[in-house]
Amino acid sequence: MRISVLCGGDSPERNVSLDSGKEVAEGLKAKGHSVELMDLSSPEALFSFLAGDRPELCFVALHGGWGEDGRLQAVLDMAGVPYTGSGPSGCAVAMDKTLSKGAFAAAGLDVPWGVAVHPGEGSSPMKALSKWGTLVVKPCCGGSTVATYIVSEEDELRKALSSAWELENRALVEAYVAGRELTVTVVEDRGIPRAFPIVEILPDGEFYDYRAKYGGGSRYVSPADLEPSVVEVVSRSAEIAHRVSGCSIYSRVDIRLDGKNRPFVLEINTVPGMTSNSLVPKAAMAGGFSFPDLLDHIVEESMASFSS
């Protein structure tokens, strides 16, 4: 099949996207596909690409910004070009952490307390700090844990908010959930979401920030060492999160497991990282899928979805 791997973009996650694109392209070639790697540095570049010889399928590896918030997917829909992953609405909900948080809560999933804060609204986070003791601050629509902070002092909170507001005009402030860091890859099989083995993250540092993700020092346990009953609850939570967010084909759900083995759903990623350090390939391997096999399954599932 002729496949164009779309990567790059102009978000803060550009470099990660380029790495994902390269590894996806190599994996698809290993399965016999004819692959073109496309670095789309702007939305204008997307329209130029579509004006040329169109592929049979676009594999979306654009992280963040217009590549992951539904705009790219909407344009591809209008052009009639099949692509991998979720459609515009699922991407839009997943990208905005306040929207996805509301969807999770409405479905009965546990989520941390949280509030979206605009510049100048500093009193609400300060009150939350007094109540919860430790907070997580991040951009509402960010990814790759860029500008994500755990804070327990007022000074730290002010700096974290300023950093998040430099990227967008809303920051999500959440109560910190102490516990284990888990992530669950959800891949559809004939349209039915199925959770892959759970990956536990043991970060190189206080938490799993950008440096810990891509610096190579963190450790991963897959499948995570959990009681079967806990595995069932966590996996089910991830599958529900995938469904109620309107996602399709595949996603990655991030979860905190507290000291009572209660899973708190944090967020969902519709275009998760696909580098050698990324979590989705690790989960696939634990589930008996090679990386090329996983990519081939995503391609087949995506084409079947567009044909139906």
Rounded distance, CA 69 to CA 142, Å?
Answer: 10
Smallest Cα–Cα separation from 130: which of 151, 109, 145? 151
124 belongs to the catalytic site? no
Rounded distance, CA 66 to CA 255, Å?
Answer: 25
SS3 (DSSP) at 87: coil
Would the annotation count 19 as a binding residue? Answer: no
Among the listed residues 11, 20, 86, 144, the single catalytic one is: 144
Compute and round to an integer the Cα radius of gyration of the chain: 19
Q: Which CATH class is domain 93-110+179-307?
A: alpha beta
Neighbours of 252 (CB within 10 A): 26
Rounded distance, CA 76 to CA 99, Å?
Answer: 23
CA distances from 67 to 70, 110, 197, 246, 264 (A): 7, 28, 27, 17, 27
Q: What CATH code is assigned to 114-175?
A: 3.30.1490.20
pTM metric for this prediction: 0.92
Is residue 138 within 8 Å of 114, Cβ to Cβ? no
Among the listed residues 4, 222, 278, 302, the single catalytic one is: 278
Rounded distance, CA 23 to CA 200, Å?
Answer: 23
Residue 265: burial class (beta carbons within 10 Å; 0-12, 13-18, 19+) = buried
Rounded distance, CA 154 to CA 158, Å?
Answer: 6
**So what's the pLDDT on residue 124?**
82
Q: What CATH code is assigned to 2-84?
A: 3.40.50.20
Rounded distance, CA 90 to CA 75, Å?
Answer: 15
**So what's the pLDDT on residue 12?**
83
**So what's the pLDDT on residue 207?**
58
**Length of the chain, in residues:** 308
**So what's the pLDDT on residue 28?**
98
Rounded distance, CA 147 to CA 167, Å?
Answer: 8
Show pLDDT as tens, one digit a residue, over the chain (308 residues): 999 999 999 888 899 999 999 999 999 999 999 999 999 988 889 999 999 899 999 999 999 889 999 999 999 999 999 999 999 999 999 999 999 999 999 999 999 999 999 998 767 888 899 899 999 999 988 765 667 899 999 999 999 999 989 888 899 999 999 999 999 999 999 999 999 999 999 976 665 555 545 555 679 999 999 999 999 999 999 999 999 999 999 999 999 999 999 999 999 999 999 987 799 999 999 999 999 999 999 999 999 999 87
Smallest Cα–Cα separation from 182: which of 297, 61, 282? 282
Would the annotation count 169 as a binding residue? Answer: no
13 belongs to the catalytic site? yes
**So what's the pLDDT on residue 143?**
63
Would the annotation count 53 as a binding residue? Answer: no
Is residue 37 within 8 Å of 30, Cβ to Cβ? no
DSSP conformation class of 83: B
Domain boundaries, the chain: 2-84, 93-110+179-307, 114-175
**So what's the pLDDT on residue 55?**
97
Backbone angles phi, psi at 62, to 5 degrees: -90, 115
